[in-house]
Amino acid sequence: MMDFSAISEAYDRLQGRHVRTPLLEYGQINELLGGRVLFKAENLQRTGSFKFRGAYNKIAALDPQLRARGVVAFSSGNHAQGVAAAAGAFGIAATVIMPADAPQLKRENTRRLGAELVLYDRQSGDRKAMAEKISAETGAVLVPPYDDEMVIAGQGTIGLEVAQQLKEAGAHADLLLCPVGGGGLVAGISIALRELLDGVKIYAAEPAGFDDTCRSLEKGERVANAPGATTICDAIVTPEPGEVTFPINLANLSGGFAVDDLEVARAVRMLFEVTKLVVEPGGAVAFAALLAKKIPLEGRTAVVILSGGNVDLEAFQNNFGLDVTGA
């Protein structure tokens, strides 16, 4: 199992390339929830989500001759943009397999960042197999969205920053809630926090119907999601926990919570109205769990990861009842 040294090395690689996102606090939300809530705003990261960290670290760590062959990835959209931006920083080609129904904003931004898109049917296509085929045919290096130690280490730099920022503010954290898809983000964060902070409990948050990590943690082994479920949280829809990520999360996490689409919509709306932050549904599930009181604060301090903010304007208006036109 990887250790904290990989995260420390990743942080060195990212210096000058990424945004050290703020840890934000709002009195209105503290009062509502009866404790202290500190938001790690990765929606303000380059490409609008935490994914740039892992993609950049993976590509930066490659042997230069291997890196020159280009990269290939598969993604619902946020990892796609992270890979495209990271590849662009090194002047190499990137091909990304994306579902045809991915939000238009994510598709357009990935193309704008220079990647070639290959679209597939989310219900019938095998994105991993498609990416592996392209890698075998072209020599491009596969950059997985979560099941890779270098990707996990890059995401873990968020945990390192959280520990730094808590120390700078003279604050402590009792718990941390994190959105989970394949589990790479929370795995990396958990490794960093186990090294740098004492006593903090770490929880996963997932959409109902895609709560494979929550159920896997309860059972002690990887279990898959049943087919046919739907959710507005497109960014964190995965079939089952990762092979690399799950052992880390089983060792480090205290549990997990599932939230339904209505609870997520309420969280997105409150973040917009109170904090003035635009957060996509998948990026807001950790706050949704706290807002729905899946775990009560009771005077404690919670760090909440807001993992991304890539949401189409039309979807933002239609799904969350928000008039953002100024009319």
Query: How far is residue 259's CA from residue 289's CA, in Å, rounded to a whole number?
Result: 6
**Ramachandran bin of 320, using left for φ above 0, alpha for ψ from -120 to 50, beta for the remaining angles:** alpha
For residues 188 and 154, the answer to whether their CB atoms sit within 8 Å is yes
Say which residues have a Cβ less than 8 Å from residue 264's Cβ, sequence separation at least 6. Answer: 207, 232, 233, 281, 284, 285, 288
Query: How far is residue 226's CA from residue 222's CA, in Å, rounded to a whole number?
Result: 13
Query: How far is residue 114's CA from residue 130's CA, in Å, rounded to a whole number?
Result: 20
List alpha helices for 170-244, DSSP H.
184-196, 212-219
Q: Is the dihedral of CA 181, 50, 270, 23 positive or negative?
A: positive
307 is catalytic: yes
Catalytic residue among 51, 76, 106, 135: 51
Residue 185 tokens, joined: 């983000």
Give the bridge partners for 206, in sequence order: 258
Residue 238 is given by DSSP the state -
51 is catalytic: yes
For residues 82 and 98, the answer to whether their CB atoms sit within 8 Å is no
List alpha helices for the chain, DSSP H.
4-14, 27-33, 51-60, 64-67, 78-90, 104-112, 127-138, 149-169, 184-196, 212-219, 245-252, 261-270, 285-291, 313-320
Catalytic residue among 76, 135, 216, 307: 307
Name which of 257, 305, 259, 282 is nearest 155 in CA terms: 305
For the annotated catalytic residues, the residue numbers are 51, 307
